[in-house]
Amino acid sequence: MARRRERRGEPSQDRRKDRVGPATREEKLNDSDASERKLIGIFILFFIIIPAVSVLVYVYKYGSGTKRLEPVITERGPIKTDINFQEILTENTNVAGNESQRNYDYPVLAYITPWNSKGYEMAKRFNSKFTHLSPVWYDLKSHGNSLILEGRHNADKGWISELRMRGNALILPRIVLEAFPTELLKKKKQMDKAIDLMVTECKEMEYDGIVLESWSRWAAYGVLHNPDLRNMALKFIKQLGHALHSVASTRNPKQQLQLVYVVGPPHSDALQQHDFGPADLQSLSGSVDGFSLMTYDFSGPNNPGPNAPLNWIRFTLRLLLGSTGNNAQRLAPKIFLGINFYGNDFILSED
């Protein structure tokens, strides 16, 4: 019996041995097919599905505002290359779309001037579309050996109250620094006094911060051509920013008072000592919440032409932001790009 079992067993072992070869080749082919399918799957996942999902997420998050605006713009047809002044005068008072819905998620600042009362009404009407409103009210001036902040008589508390009832836009009045710069920057007491005046005004009037304009004044006085005074000027802005950030907003205790600083465009790609450049932007970025970049007034009576040509605006931004690395991407959201709502009519025959 034992031998019979052995004899019956031997052929079966041989048969198993005969089956090993073909089975292994099939398995190899199956493994090869599986590997190819796996590689194809990985390729599809990483090079087709993930990019497609990323694009959809980006469009949903960042492109929705543009999609909402596009039909309105194309229907009304204001985008033209061949346009005359009469069309501009007719179009400028028209409003596209909803008056309260925001189409973008980035900050928007609007200046309101006392000499144009319509601006006050427009600010109330479109309050929800703005994040920052800056009424042009104040001047900080030298008064003998002291300093004085002028402009509270311009402040309209009733208007501010109406704004805050209608929306959440921050109120940051503009202050122009008219004080003698050499006295202000060289004397610590003067510097401290100037900062105290501005911070105290924010507290007493319940502002959300200020917009400061001083760089163009300092350039006119020749202060920025002096390296020591230039460094003192940057130091003053930093101290003002830190002082404002140390104070909580009256309306929202969790929010600091903000500082937006006005800067002008460089006049050429070869930056001059008085120009506000990439190094200054980097230096102040930790102390300033936003930079109001004046990308308008490109032409003037001595050089008639466009007010804000697009190529010049792009050039200015590239120059100010420096390289296109992470640093530029980090600082770009802090820039309020200036858009003018006016034009100039040059009469060439009369110079």
What secondary structure, in 3-state letters, does 83-129 show?
CCHHHHHHHCCCCCCCCCCCCCCCCCEEEECCCCCHHHHHHHHCHHH
Residue 350's DSSP bridge partners are none
Host domain of residue 315:
99-337
pLDDT band at 174 (very low <50, low <70, confident <90, very high): very high
Q: What average pLDDT does range 121-141 have in this prediction?
A: 93
Percentage of residues in the chain with pLDDT exceeding 70? Answer: 75
227 within domain boundaries: yes
Are 199 and 242 in contact by the 8 Å Cβ rule? The answer is: no
Q: Number of folded domains in the chain? A: 1
- Per mean pLDDT, which range of 189-203, 318-332, 335-349 is the poorest? 318-332
pLDDT in tens, 301-313: 888 888 998 899 9
pLDDT of the residue at 76: 58
Is a pLDDT exceeding 80 seen at residue 123? yes
Is a pLDDT exceeding 90 seen at residue 172? yes
pLDDT of the residue at 67: 41
Residues 6+ away with beta carbon under 8 Å from 217: 176, 177, 178, 181
1 within domain boundaries: no
Is a pLDDT exceeding 50 seen at residue 179? yes
253 within domain boundaries: yes
147 within domain boundaries: yes
pTM of the model: 0.75
pLDDT of the residue at 145: 84
pLDDT band at 8 (very low <50, low <70, confident <90, very high): very low
- What is the C-alpha radius of gyration for the chain, rounded to an integer number of angstroms? 33
228 within domain boundaries: yes
Q: Residue 142: which H helix or E strand, with range?
A: strand 132-143
Are 277 and 321 in contact by the 8 Å Cβ rule? The answer is: no
pLDDT band at 6 (very low <50, low <70, confident <90, very high): very low
φ/ψ of 293, rounded to 5, equals: -90, 120
Report how far residue 90's alpha carbon sits from residue 76's, in angstroms, rounded to the nearest whole number.
13
Long-range contacts of 325-329 (CB under 8 A, 24+ apart): 327/282
pLDDT band at 10 (very low <50, low <70, confident <90, very high): very low
**CB burial string 230-266: b at 16+ within 10 A, e below:** bebbeebbbebbebbbeeebeeeeeebbbbbbbbbbb
pLDDT band at 200 (very low <50, low <70, confident <90, very high): very high
Q: What is the CATH number of the domain that holds 327?
A: 3.20.20.80
211 within domain boundaries: yes
pLDDT of the residue at 159: 93
- Per mean pLDDT, which range of 74-88, 131-145, 183-197 is the poorest? 74-88
- Per mean pLDDT, which range of 187-201, 258-272, 282-296 is the poorest? 258-272
Q: What token pair was written down for 155?
A: 């402040």
23 within domain boundaries: no
43 within domain boundaries: no
